[in-house]
């Protein structure tokens, strides 16, 4: 699954290729990819790209007229520029003045999605509300981490708590028994002794 570092690379690459370029055509090859009906996807055609951003783990392409294409890659979704993407796994093609962006998804399960939304309020409604990990200091990170009675891994990957973090960013989590033993030894909340280490590992 693409995680925060992967999404950052995608955003930088997309910005260099499609910013201020016009979206000429969208070819939807798998109808199940599109999860919205209003506004119609055809409304995005002919619009100029005003910017590229991120909403949690989703990529948002801002178009003229306050239209947004919101792409969620989920586990196996990928973006490919130009070339010849495999037909079997290509879900949609976005044809820009500068080239073609292919939205692909490997495997048989179709989890990736595309939303077309109108207005910034509709875009904000797709945000689960998690804090941006690279923008918060240790104090804020610790407060959010301790705000829910979750395992460490679940807390860090909960989009309502932290934005853009997934399982690949935190592959190994202490077990409940290890955290309980740490709590007994230190008298601290089960997450406090490792909040600093987790913050440092993720933010550098």
Reported as a single tens digit per residue, the pLDDT across 43-73 is 999 999 999 998 888 899 999 999 999 999 9
Beta bridge partners of 163: 132
In 3D space, the residue among 13, 69, 19, 14 whose CA is nearest the CA of residue 39 turns out to be 69
pTM of this structure = 0.74
E strand or H helix at 53: strand 49-55
Reported as a single tens digit per residue, the pLDDT across 125-151 is 887 666 666 677 777 777 777 777 766
CA gap 183, 75 in Å, rounded: 34
CA gap 77, 179 in Å, rounded: 34
| Domains of the chain: residue spans and CATH | 4-124 (3.20.190.10), 131-203 (no CATH)
| Count of C-beta atoms within a 10 Å radius of residue 184 | 9
CA gap 148, 158 in Å, rounded: 10
Residue 197 — pLDDT band, cuts 50, 70, 90? very low
């Amino acid at each position: 699954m693409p995680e925060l570092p992967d999404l950052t690379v995608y955003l930088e690459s997309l910005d260099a290729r499609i910013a201020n370029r016009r979206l000429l055509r969208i070819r939807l090859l798998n109808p199940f990819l599109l999860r919205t009906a209003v506004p119609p996807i055809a409304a995005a055609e002919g619009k100029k790209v005003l910017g590229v951003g991120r909403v949690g783990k989703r990529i948002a392409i801002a178009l003229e007229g306050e239209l947004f294409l919101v792409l969620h890659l989920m586990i196996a979704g990928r973006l490919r520029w130009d070339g010849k993407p495999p037909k079997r796994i290509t879900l949609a093609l976005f044809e820009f003045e500068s080239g073609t962006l292919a939205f692909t998804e490997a495997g048989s399960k179709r989890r990736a999605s595309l939303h077309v939304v109108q207005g910034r309020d509709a875009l904000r409604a797709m945000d689960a509300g998690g804090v941006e990990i690279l923008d918060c200091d240790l104090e804020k990170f610790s407060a959010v981490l301790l705000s829910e009675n979750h395992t460490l891994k679940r807390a860090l990957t909960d989009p309502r708590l932290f934005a853009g973090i997934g399982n690949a960013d935190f592959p190994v989590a202490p077990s409940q028994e290890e955290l309980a033993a740490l709590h007994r030894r230190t008298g601290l909340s089960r997450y406090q002794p490792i909040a600093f280490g987790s913050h440092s590992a993720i933010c550098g």
